[in-house]
Chains A and B, each alone.
Chain A
Amino acid sequence: MARPVKTETRLKGARWWKEVGWKHIVGIIVIAFCAFPLLYVLSASLSPGGTLTGSAKLFSEVSTKNYVDLMGTNFPTWMLHSLVVSTATALGTVLMASCAAYAFSRFRFAGRQGGLSALLIIQMFPQMLAFVAIFLLLLTLRDIFPFLGLGELMGLIAVYLGGALGANTFLIYGFFNTIPRELDEAAKIDGATHAQIFWGVIMRLVTPILAVVGLLSFVGSYGEFILAKIVLARPENYTLAVGLYVWASDERNAPWSLFAAGAVLAAIPIIILFMYLQKYIVGGLTAGGVKG
């Protein structure tokens, strides 16, 4: 029986240490640096002590008391709010941005070039830079559409949707341009309307990539803090970012272990999403997109 000849390329001894071994040591140090805060928050969430004081020894006591207590607080509401706001934002974002991208990609109309250039310029300025004016706008809107004004989740979603077009149209426009126009033409000859081409042909073909855009938008609004802090004023209305900030910011009396348990639960959906989305981030889908 012919066996493949095993070539020995492995380094040994001092030379291995000099060229490869030390890299493992660097790797272990970096892992310690990366994992330490995460282990700490996990340990604090399991410590029944309650305050920051008792959290300084990792895993000295382990109980699930904090997680049970968490259910009696506002935390489940905040989690629900965060999920609702982020899901609505993600869906709305993908829908509106794909519609706009479809118009730019498949129709020729007056103002198309200008519109694309304008979007490119708007894209440079994150919406949150205008947070003072957003606050003033919602203050005024409260008198007219109370559900879109300050203190309302709907108002916050509307604000996030306002940033949707600027940030995502270009990305999706790029994907749409890669779909051959012959497909549209063929559908048109078969009698499809522009709406049927949009929903039945184009959207079907880019669904996976739109899912990624939507998930990234979900992650973005899940962690968004400044606008949520301005808009939501009452503890019953907070999203996770605002609520957990309020818990953690009061150092002396803070329910620190409750915060830690909340942080662990809040982080889980995002960590799972990130493991899945990692390759797209590296692939440059979000060129320069730094997670918030």
Chain B
Amino acid sequence: MTITEEPPRTKPQQLSHARDISRPGFYVKLVLMALVNAFGIYGILASWASKDFYILAFLAVTLAIADYVYFSKRAIPAKYLMPGLVFLAVYQIYVMGNTAYVAFTNYGDGHNDAKQPAITQILKTSDRRVEGTNTFPVSILEKGDVLSFAIVQDGTARVGDQENPLKNAPDAVIDGERVTEVPGYDLLKLADIQSRQKDVLALRVSLSDNPDDGWLRTDNGTLSYVAKSALVYNEAADTFTSPEGKVYTADAKQGLFVAADGTSLTPGWRVLVGVDNFTRMFTDSRLSGPFFKILVWTFVFAIASVLTTFALGLGLATIFNDARVKGRVVYRALFILPYAFPGFLAALVWKGMLNQQFGIINQSLLGGASINWLGDGTLAKLSILGVNLWLGFPYMFLVCTGALQSIPGELNEAAIMDGAGPFKRFRSVTLPLLLVSVAPLLIASFAFNFNNFSLIYMLTGGGPNFPGSPVLVGETDILISMVYSVAFESGVKQYGLASAMSIIIFVVVGFISWLGFRQTRKLEEVM
């Protein structure tokens, strides 16, 4: 590895020109750093406002380091490393760390937030109108995607949304009892309200910071009334009590308020659940069945893809590594066409071609057959391997052609002198030499196919689906598309479980890469 070679040490570093104001570069830097600082300080203020203190701390520290690095006369290497490292830290190292953390939580639908917002949410979803209170004509406003209520109370306009309680809006225009315009907001018309009915009906705007004061809600988009929760939250005991007297106690292990009879209130909150997500994969029989099938298919798919593409690529490379064949340049240029075509488009085109009713393969090539290429488990798997062969063999062909041409001809001639036939020559001379240079690529290709999400997702979407599985997965899903389905497409989003599955992929990929490193060295020793 190149790391170990140590170039000659240079003499003590000269100091940098970091504060040399006579150079124009300094002013370019000044402008750039001003932008960085503006960005950082904006972020610090915004994260203060939204109470994201980890982000605030990260921004403050990073900004301080950046200012030091770029205005110090020392730390020259850091000047070059910093931009890349910041991106790496946020979008690769942090997200990987967070995957590991989320894998041990119950994060997902129903457990989306911390405990306090969950309590507020429970209160708001179980509300009823407070008897004897007034109704307010309400105007529904929109800013970005966020809906707000605007009402007239004691002659002043007040505006608030789901997150922010009602506040006076002195610059709003009032007509009688109704607010007709608030600067910076769009007023929703009746038709808009109808199209966003669900959001409007779900909106609760607190009257003040104290949840006991209740909140405004509307049943029709024109009149609003004050509502309060039917459930009573007791902060000291950390329990909810329903009007019927049923008591729900906070269970910190599950992140739920649970009653003695086992019923619980939604939503819950996020808690660490230990290795639950991992054990579920193996012990929850409804989940573990599909999981094991998918695990096996992932390996079968990756190994078979590498072997088929390599076999075809090597075969063709061997056949066309023959000076007597005219027009080899043309053949080569045409053979790599599938490789030049973007992979995601190829998967989609094949999906159309393999369509059972209208696809060209059934319709024209097979004379009106009705073969369910993508809808039948076994056929879908074969189709995927076939399409991946089309996509992948040109790469193997290119690589093998290069490797074959670098094998000295004398070796083969020597083997001929020793009386070896063509097959024996291929097995004992060509193949071992070829593998030395190609083995790392085969391992990389395995790792790539192990996570070949777009092919699977675009061609079959993982289908045909397993019936009765609690997550939406099917026979051709591989691990990474299963993770996607668990996280985003199975109705209930389960980020915790999905992250736990990602960890398994990480382990496999890490192991393969490590194997790759070892393998390369081993084969070199054989040389």
Contacts and interface: CB of A to CB of B under 8 A. Distances in A.
A109 B79 CA distance: 12
Contacts of A158: 87, 91
A285 to B, nearest CB: 12
Contacts of B351: 248, 251
A135 B325 contact: no
Interface stretch (B60-68, B95-103, B129-137, B180-188): B95-103
Contacts of A291: 339, 343, 395
Interface in A102-123: 102-104, 107-109, 112-113, 115-117, 120, 122
Interface residues of B, number: 110
A30 B2 CA distance: 41
A20 B85 CA distance: 56
A174 interface: yes
Interface in B415-455: 440-441, 443-445, 448-449, 451, 453-454
B344 A145 contact: no
Nearest to B47: A144
Nearest to B325: A23
Contact of B353 (A37, A99, A130, A270): A37
A129 B392 contact: no
A201 interface: no
Contacts of B8: 181
Nearest to B44: A144
A130 B502 contact: yes
A124 B443 contact: no
Contact of B99 (A33, A130, A248): A130
B41 interface: no
B467 to A, nearest CB: 21
Given A27-B320, A53-B358, A226 B510 contact: no
B83 A96 contact: yes
Contacts of A104: 77
Interface in A1-56: 11, 19-20, 23-24, 26-27, 30-31, 33-35, 37-38, 40-41, 44, 51-53, 55-56
B87 A162 contact: yes
Nearest to B402: A282
A52 B357 CA distance: 9
Interface string B373-406: 0000000000000000010101100110110000
A107 B92 contact: no
Given A52-B358, A282-B402, A116 B350 contact: no
Contacts of B461: 249
A266 B349 CA distance: 13
A271 B340 contact: yes
A120 B331 CA distance: 38
Interface string B286-324: 000000000000000000000000000000100110101
A99 B80 contact: yes
Interface stretch (B166-174, B227-235, B249-257, B482-490): B482-490
Interface stretch (A70-78, A206-214, A273-281): A273-281
Contact of A290 (B2, B77, B348, B448): B448
B88 A122 contact: yes
Interface stretch (B9-17, B191-199, B206-214, B470-478): B9-17
A244 interface: yes
Interface string B483-522: 1100110000001001100100110011001100000000
Contact of B440 (A31, A127, A130, A287): A287
Interface in B41-79: 42-43, 46-47, 50, 52, 55, 76-79
Interface stretch (B149-157, B260-268, B359-367): B359-367
A248 B95 contact: no
Interface residues of A, number: 110
A34 B342 contact: no
A85 to B, nearest CB: 14
A173 to B, nearest CB: 7
A138 B70 CA distance: 28
B324 A19 contact: yes
B352 A100 contact: no
A288 B440 contact: yes
B473 to A, nearest CB: 15
B464 interface: no
B84 interface: yes
Contact of A162 (B55, B78, B81, B91): B91
Contact of A165 (B10, B87, B331): B87
A245 B344 contact: yes
Contact of B345 (A126, A134, A263, A290): A263
Contacts of A108: 9-10
Contact of A124 (B87, B88, B513): B513
B352 A52 contact: yes
A143 to B, nearest CB: 5
A241 B346 CA distance: 11
Contacts of A259: 348, 352
A266 B342 contact: yes
Contacts of A289: 444
B337 A129 contact: no
Interface in A204-254: 222-223, 225-226, 230, 241, 244-245, 248-249, 251
Interface in A142-159: 143-145, 158-159
B335 interface: yes
B92 A162 contact: yes
A97 B348 contact: no
A128 B88 CA distance: 13
B337 A38 contact: yes
A103 B81 contact: yes
A49 to B, nearest CB: 10
Contact of B355 (A35, A122, A165, A251): A251
B33 interface: no
Given A144-B55, A194-B16, A223-B342, A164 B364 contact: no
A161 B322 contact: no
A288 B443 contact: yes
A235 B86 CA distance: 31
B444 A37 contact: no
Residue from B92, B350, B358, B360 with most neighbouring chain A CB atoms (10 Å): B92
- A-B pairs with the 7 shortest C-beta distances? A162-B91, A288-B444, A56-B363, A274-B340, A124-B513, A96-B84, A103-B80
Given A35-B334, A125-B506, A169-B84, 20 more contacts: A37-B349, A37-B353, A41-B349, A56-B359, A58-B364, A99-B84, A103-B80, A107-B13, A107-B80, A109-B77, A109-B78, A124-B513, A130-B92, A130-B98, A225-B344, A241-B344, A249-B461, A260-B349, A263-B349, A290-B444
29 contacts: A23-B319, A37-B341, A41-B345, A44-B352, A58-B364, A107-B80, A112-B77, A124-B510, A124-B514, A130-B92, A130-B99, A133-B94, A136-B495, A137-B98, A158-B87, A162-B87, A162-B92, A164-B87, A165-B84, A165-B87, A195-B17, A222-B342, A266-B342, A266-B345, A274-B339, A278-B398, A287-B440, A288-B444, A291-B395
Interface of B: 1-3, 7-10, 13-14, 16-17, 25, 42-43, 46-47, 50, 52, 55, 76-81, 83-85, 87-88, 90-96, 98-99, 102, 107, 316, 319-320, 322, 324-325, 327, 331, 334-346, 348-353, 355, 358-360, 363-364, 390, 392, 394-395, 398-399, 401-402, 440-441, 443-445, 448-449, 451, 453-454, 457-458, 461, 480, 483-484, 487-488, 495, 498-499, 502, 505-506, 509-510, 513-514
